[in-house]
Amino acid sequence: MALLRTRALGRADLSRALGLSKTALGDLIADLGAEGLVVENSVAENPSAENPSAENPSAENPVSLSAPRGRRPALLRVNARRAAVIGVELSATVFEYGIYDLTSTLLCVERLPSRRTEGEARVYSQLLGGIRTALERAGKLGYPVAAVGVAAPGPLDAQAGALLMPPAFPELHRLRLRSRLEGDLGLPVRLEHNSAAAATAFLRQHDGENFVYLLLLEQGIGAGLVMDRRVYRGAHGYAGEFGHVSLDVNGPPCPCGNRGCLERLADVDAICQAYAGRTQADLTLTRIVERAGQGEAAALEVLEGAGRAIGLAAAALVNLLDPSMLVLGGPGARASPFLIPAIRRELQGRAYPYLGWGEHLEIRACTLPNPVGRGAAECVLNALYRGDLPLTQPRPAIRPELTHTGPLNPPGG
Ligand SMILES: [Zn+2]
């Protein structure tokens, strides 16, 4: 299944890749076909099949590695309609609920303002209600939902499925979110750190073995650390709290207990506050970026300051990890045209010069839409393809609408 996740393959290619005989592969394919998990057809005549979109490897463009000219072999592919997953982003400003099929294609998404300050009961009920609405939508689209992924600000314990003490959610500290949602939804749920989720989404769409994904949020800055194509989580699973690197021992206090943390100087709220402090104008980041584009000095200086703070903190990361790329994502990434030159200037002055950071380190903005919610979905899809979660969840409430998607497991099977 995992081999077919991003592209359609012929039996000969699969047989070679898996080291299976023709007969053994035939049995395997028959089993997967009976489950409705793979489909086999000969749509390779599609001329675009030779050049699938690099940005979207899950596009409906099958590729055959060995298709000879002339007669085209039948291709096997994942039956994208067999199941869906829900990817949820919890952030200080928005709760996002996306439905993704088995090839990571986004089917629909809803973004609602976060009610995070209204107490645990209300926040949880908003979250549960949003997921239930997404489940109903998936049912109407004809997809059974296999699992739910939730990406939230850290620190959190992904293994235990618990939020720890995210400053953006003071009323949800120590909430065992996964077990509570699993109990209420009757579905497997996975909890993921938001920056690790965004890095996972980026990793799936782009080449890049070693990179740092800087998630620039309204409140907070996280780092998804990717090493050898794996998201690094640290000894206790809490890695990535980049926003709490202290840059100024006498700086403004941070809810984490430290002072002068990066995110107090460079997250979206900090940029807007710095701008308001200079101009008395209460503007969104989008407007500040517009003004910077028009050459306004205050806007340019505020964005330069934020970029230099990020660059100063990132110099330590770069010296320690030697990444090939820094990726800026999240709402703050809309200031990338101004942040990136400032980050680069700071890195050139501070990261180890003999290692040639100026030439070799790529700094780019992530163009992937909704990377955090998408990453939450990718994390559960990864678990499904690894076999850590069952791909076939019986969902009696929505099964009647699935008759055209292929055979379902028999009841209790
Ligand atoms: Zn802090």
Instruction: Tell me the CA–centroid distance for residue 167 and ligand 1, in Å.
Output: 8
More confident call, 25 vs 333: 333
Instruction: Tell me the CA–centroid distance for residue 153 and ligand 1, in Å.
Output: 13
- Average confidence (pLDDT) over 49-73: 43
Q: Which residues contact 263 (CB under 8 A, 6 or more apart)?
A: 219, 220, 221, 243, 244, 254, 270
**95 occurs within a structural domain:** yes
- Band of residue 393 on the pLDDT scale cut at 50, 70, 90: low
In order of 152, 219, 263, 332, 384, the CA distances from 256 in angstroms are: 16, 13, 11, 21, 35
Pairwise CA distance, residues 74 & 95, whole Å: 42
Q: What is the pLDDT of residue 42?
A: 60
Instruction: Tell me the CA–centroid distance for residue 146 and ligand 1, in Å.
Output: 36
**411 occurs within a structural domain:** no
Instruction: Tell me the CA–centroid distance for residue 222 and ligand 1, in Å.
Output: 11
Q: Are 244 and 263 in contact (CB under 8 A)?
A: yes
Instruction: Tell me the CA–centroid distance for residue 270 and ligand 1, in Å.
Output: 13
Structural domain containing residue 132: 83-196+370-402
Q: Model's pTM, two decimal places?
A: 0.84
Instruction: Tell me the CA–centroid distance for residue 197 and ligand 1, in Å.
Output: 21
Beta strands 162-163 and 145-152, pairing class: unpaired
Task: For tokens 């976060």, name the residue.
Answer: 114
Q: Based on the domain organization, do 257 and 315 belong to the same domain?
A: yes
Q: Based on the domain organization, do 158 and 28 belong to the same domain?
A: no
Q: Based on the domain organization, do 97 and 162 belong to the same domain?
A: yes
Beta strands 189-193 and 145-152, pairing class: parallel
Pairwise CA distance, residues 122 & 132, whole Å: 15
Give tens-digit pLDDT for 96-108: 999 999 999 999 9
Instruction: Tell me the CA–centroid distance for residue 241 and ligand 1, in Å.
Output: 9
Question: What does 354-374 look like in DSSP terms, one character per residue?
Answer: GGTHHHH-EEEE---SSHHHH
Among the candidates 51, 78, 105, a domain finishes at: 78
- The SS3 of residue 235 is coil
Q: Based on the domain organization, do 181 and 230 belong to the same domain?
A: no
More confident call, 37 vs 243: 243
- Band of residue 357 on the pLDDT scale cut at 50, 70, 90: low
Q: What is the pLDDT of residue 186?
A: 95
**408 occurs within a structural domain:** no
Rg of the chain, C-alpha, whole Å: 23
Instruction: Tell me the CA–centroid distance for residue 215 and ligand 1, in Å.
Output: 15
More confident call, 183 vs 391: 183
What's the CATH code of the domain at 272? 3.30.420.40
Among the candidates 78, 113, 135, a domain finishes at: 78
What's the domain count of the chain? 3
Give tens-digit pLDDT for 129-175: 999 999 999 999 999 999 999 999 988 999 999 999 888 788 888 88
Q: Based on the domain organization, do 288 and 377 belong to the same domain?
A: no
Mean pLDDT over all residues of the chain? 84
Instruction: Tell me the CA–centroid distance for residue 282 and ligand 1, in Å.
Output: 24
Q: Based on the domain organization, do 361 and 214 belong to the same domain?
A: yes
Task: For tokens 């989404």, name the residue.
Answer: 201
**155 occurs within a structural domain:** yes
Q: What is the pLDDT of residue 377?
A: 97
- Band of residue 355 on the pLDDT scale cut at 50, 70, 90: low
Q: What is the pLDDT of residue 124?
A: 92
Instruction: Tell me the CA–centroid distance for residue 220 and ligand 1, in Å.
Output: 9
What's the CATH code of the domain at 7? 1.10.10.10
Q: What is the pLDDT of residue 285?
A: 97
Q: What is the pLDDT of residue 26?
A: 85
Q: Based on the domain organization, do 319 and 355 belong to the same domain?
A: yes
- Band of residue 391 on the pLDDT scale cut at 50, 70, 90: confident
Instruction: Tell me the CA–centroid distance for residue 162 and ligand 1, in Å.
Output: 20
**124 occurs within a structural domain:** yes
Give tens-digit pLDDT for 204-244: 988 778 999 999 999 999 999 999 999 998 888 889 999 99
Q: Based on the domain organization, do 262 and 391 belong to the same domain?
A: no
Instruction: Tell me the CA–centroid distance for residue 242 and ligand 1, in Å.
Output: 9
Instruction: Tell me the CA–centroid distance for residue 247 and ligand 1, in Å.
Output: 10
- Band of residue 69 on the pLDDT scale cut at 50, 70, 90: low
Instruction: Tell me the CA–centroid distance for residue 158 and ligand 1, in Å.
Output: 20
Instruction: Tell me the CA–centroid distance for residue 258 and ligand 1, in Å.
Output: 5
Q: What is the pLDDT of residue 400?
A: 36
Q: Output b/e per residue, 223-237; b: 16+ Cβ within 10 A.
A: bbbbeeeebbbeeeb
Q: Based on the domain organization, do 64 and 158 belong to the same domain?
A: no
**348 occurs within a structural domain:** yes
Q: Based on the domain organization, do 91 and 112 belong to the same domain?
A: yes
**412 occurs within a structural domain:** no
Q: Based on the domain organization, do 322 and 223 belong to the same domain?
A: yes
Instruction: Tell me the CA–centroid distance for residue 256 and ligand 1, in Å.
Output: 4
Instruction: Tell me the CA–centroid distance for residue 259 and ligand 1, in Å.
Output: 7
Return phi, psi of residue 222, to 5°: -120, 165
Among the candidates 32, 60, 78, a domain finishes at: 78
Q: Based on the domain organization, do 72 and 125 belong to the same domain?
A: no
**413 occurs within a structural domain:** no
